[in-house]
């Protein structure tokens, strides 16, 4: 009787994003490469290109995922509580600690550089405060009209 082969579970786009974020946290943005991620996941590079057009798309999606997961969702959870200002601040600090957001913040900040922002955020559709600060320094004022600041209710 031959060996039974167990089919590998199909990787999702989110699997690639999560693995790329973990690679960023562990070893920096320079190691977030298609070949390394494919090896880590035990698949071929073709799987990557099934989900993403190129590495730049993955990097953009990683940034959006980080902003959503560790910024917008945390802020929305705290705002939904309807707390006073000082209690809100304490709740935010506690949520950041509990969600381990600080573990991911430093690697993403280290990744932030004016060169990368210029290549990927032309027209500024920033998804985070630090990215907006970078964009607003290097892009003309009218180029920032689509950024995250305009999506926040006053």
pLDDT tens, residue by residue, 107-120: 887 777 555 544 44
pLDDT tens digit string along 71-88? 888 888 888 999 998 898
Torsion-angle region of residue 113: left (phi > 0), alpha (psi -120 to 50) or beta? beta
Residue 13 has pLDDT above 80, yes or no: yes
pTM of the model: 0.64
Q: In this structure, what token pair is assigned to residue 57?
A: 């798309």
Distance in angstroms (rounded) separating the CA atoms of residues 113 and 87: 34
pLDDT average, residue stretch 130-135: 53
Which region among 23-27, 41-45, 85-89, 94-98 has the lowest average model confidence (pLDDT)? 94-98
Q: Residues 109, 132: contact at Cβ < 8 Å?
A: no
Q: Residues 127, 144: contact at Cβ < 8 Å?
A: no
For residue 57, the SS3 value is helix
- How far is residue 112 CA from its own chain's centroid? 11
Model pLDDT, residue 135: 52
Nearest CA to 110 out of 24, 23, 16 is that of 24
Q: In this structure, what token pair is assigned to residue 32?
A: 């977030």
Residue 27 has pLDDT above 60, yes or no: yes
Q: Residues 94, 87: contact at Cβ < 8 Å?
A: no
């Amino acid at each position: 009787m031959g060996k039974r082969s167990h089919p590998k579970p199909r990787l999702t786009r989110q699997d690639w994003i999560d693995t790329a974020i973990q690679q960023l946290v562990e070893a920096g943005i320079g190691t977030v490469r298609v070949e390394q991620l494919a090896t880590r996941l035990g698949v071929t590079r073709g799987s990557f290109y099934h989900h993403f057009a190129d590495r730049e798309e993955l990097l953009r999606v990683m940034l959006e995922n980080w902003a959503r997961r560790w910024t917008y969702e945390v802020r929305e959870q705290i705002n939904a509580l309807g707390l006073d200002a000082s209690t809100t601040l304490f709740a935010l600090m506690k949520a950041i600690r509990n969600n381990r957001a600080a573990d991911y913040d430093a690697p993403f900040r280290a990744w932030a550089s004016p060169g990368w922002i210029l290549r990927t955020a032309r027209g500024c559709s920033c998804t985070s405060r630090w990215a907006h600060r970078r964009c607003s320094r290097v892009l003309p004022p009218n180029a920032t009209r689509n950024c995250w600041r305009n999506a926040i209710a006053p």
